């Protein structure tokens, strides 16, 4: 069986239809606050607005011309210009293949080595164990819990607020992860306060 070549590249306007498909996958819908009724045209407008937003940095995972994952890093303004907010999604058929890890490495390198961001943050549903394991491997920690923050499948669900502070005296996460790759726990876990 041949191995697929995954390319991480900036988002293009022509990727809007693939982004629409990703965002309507059952696992992606389950792990986000998106609605299943958002039209392709609405996603085209969303992608266009993202591309014109100077505070957003957008990357996709591309396999043979098809976008199978995306990640957004939105930089804060004013007294929060040292903060970046991350949102990521991977197509259901391509989950568990390292695409999320590649996308995270891309934005962490950008944040640490190009944008000089001190803090990265995101919200994650408390029952999204796969995502929590991935983010733990990138030094994200639970800072808080938003109770009943979202409505999914007929009931309310809590979100964790996760954050990663850039390590002091480091050449950046990408460099550090290469040097310490043999000592990383491949599964990892997040400890939560209940």
Tens of pLDDT, residues 79-115 = 999 999 999 999 999 999 999 999 999 999 999 999 9
Closest to 192 in 3D by CA, of 122, 151, 133, 149: 133
Q: What average pLDDT does the segment 54-79 reach? A: 97
3-state secondary structure 143-192: EEEEEEEEEECCEEEEEEEEEEECCCCCCCHHHHHHHCHHHCCCCCCCCC
Secondary structure of residue 73 in the 3-state scheme? strand
Query: Is the pTM of the predicted complex or chain greater than 0.85?
Result: no
Q: What average pLDDT does the segment 60-86 reach? A: 97
CB 125 within 8 A of CB 159: yes
- By the 10 Å C-beta count (0-12 exposed, 13-18 middle, 19+ buried), 191 is classed as exposed
Q: Considering the domain delimited by 6-182, tell me its CATH architecture.
A: 3-Layer(aba) Sandwich (3.40)
- Which H or E run contains 115? none
The reported pLDDT for the residue numbered 190 is 38
Q: In what order do the strands lie in the sheet with 119-125?
A: 6-10, 56-63, 66-75, 83-90, 119-125, 155-165, 141-152
- Compute and round to an integer the Cα radius of gyration of the chain: 17
Q: Which residues, including other chains, have CB under 8 Å from residue 2's CB and lie 6 or more apart?
A: none
Q: In 34-162, which ranges are continuous DSSP H helix?
A: 40-52, 99-113, 129-136
Domains of the chain by residue range? 6-182
């Amino acid at each position: 069986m041949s191995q697929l070549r995954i390319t991480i590249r900036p988002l293009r306007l022509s990727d809007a239809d693939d982004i629409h498909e990703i965002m309507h996958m059952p696992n992606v819908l389950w792990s986000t606050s998106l609605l299943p009724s958002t039209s392709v045209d609405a996603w085209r407008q969303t992608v266009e607005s993202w591309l014109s937003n100077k505070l957003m940095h957008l990357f996709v995972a591309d396999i043979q011309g098809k976008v199978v994952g995306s990640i957004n890093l939105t930089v804060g303004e004013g007294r929060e210009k040292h903060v970046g907010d991350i949102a990521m999604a991977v197509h259901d058929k391509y989950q568990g293949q390292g695409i999320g890890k590649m996308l995270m490495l891309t934005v962490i390198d950008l944040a640490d080595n190009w944008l000089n961001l001190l803090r990265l943050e995101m919200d994650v549903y408390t029952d999204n164990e796969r995502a929590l394991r991935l983010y733990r491997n990138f030094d994200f920690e639970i800072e808080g819990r938003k109770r009943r923050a979202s409505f999914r499948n007929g009931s309310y669900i809590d979100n964790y607020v996760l954050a990663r502070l850039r390590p002091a005296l480091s050449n950046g996460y990408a460099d550090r992860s290469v040097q310490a790759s043999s000592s990383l726990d491949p599964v990892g876990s997040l400890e939560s306060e209940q």
